[in-house]
Amino acid sequence: MRRNNKGFSLVEITLALMIGSIGLLALSGILTYVMKINRMATDISIATALARQKIEQVKLTEYNKVQNETEYEYNLNASGESDAATGMYTRVTEVAVNQPAFNTKTVSVSVYFSPDMQETEKKAVVSTIIYP
């Protein structure tokens, strides 16, 4: 009597599970990296939008009222409102008079999304030149 044994042995199943678990472990590391990069891209998009929002506010201001100053806005949320609980963005507006030419003003807005404002890769900068 001849038996027709079909199926997998315990050794084959164990080996397949080990190979599959190693593959899933590698994918979990990639997933963590992708989530980190996705969050940074979101932060860059929000920071750029906040910088453009401030530039538009300055453009709508009368030329003579735009002062030669540096303004800091702390704890901004994604919509540009000051919120100590959820705000993680700091917006720095710098105005330089007579640069790059006479009777012009250079407005530069930097939005940081790092807590210490020192990491240059964690900021967005938008600049414009205004004139009367």
Report whether pLDDT(3) > 70: no
Confirm whether 2 is domain-assigned.
Answer: no
Confirm whether 5 is domain-assigned.
Answer: no
Residues 104, 132: Cα–Cα separation, whole Å? 8
- The count of structural domains within the chain is 1
Confirm whether 3 is domain-assigned.
Answer: no
Range of the domain at 120: 10-130
Confirm whether 50 is domain-assigned.
Answer: yes
- How far is CA 20 from each of CA 7, 24, 30, 31, rounded to the nearest angstrom? 19, 6, 16, 16
Write out pLDDT tens, residues 11-44: 999 999 999 999 999 899 899 999 999 998 999 9
β-pair partners for 129: 106
Confirm whether 76 is domain-assigned.
Answer: yes
Confirm whether 106 is domain-assigned.
Answer: yes
Confirm whether 51 is domain-assigned.
Answer: yes
Residue 52 confidence class, pLDDT cut points 50, 70, 90: very high
Q: Which amino acid is at 105?
A: K
Report whether pLDDT(4) > 70: no
Region 105-124: mean pLDDT is: 84
Confirm whether 87 is domain-assigned.
Answer: yes
Q: What is the pLDDT of residue 61?
A: 92
Write out pLDDT tens, residues 60-111: 999 999 988 888 888 888 888 888 887 889 999 999 999 889 999 999 999 9
Which of 16 and 114 is assigned the larger pLDDT? 16
CA 70 to chain centre: 23
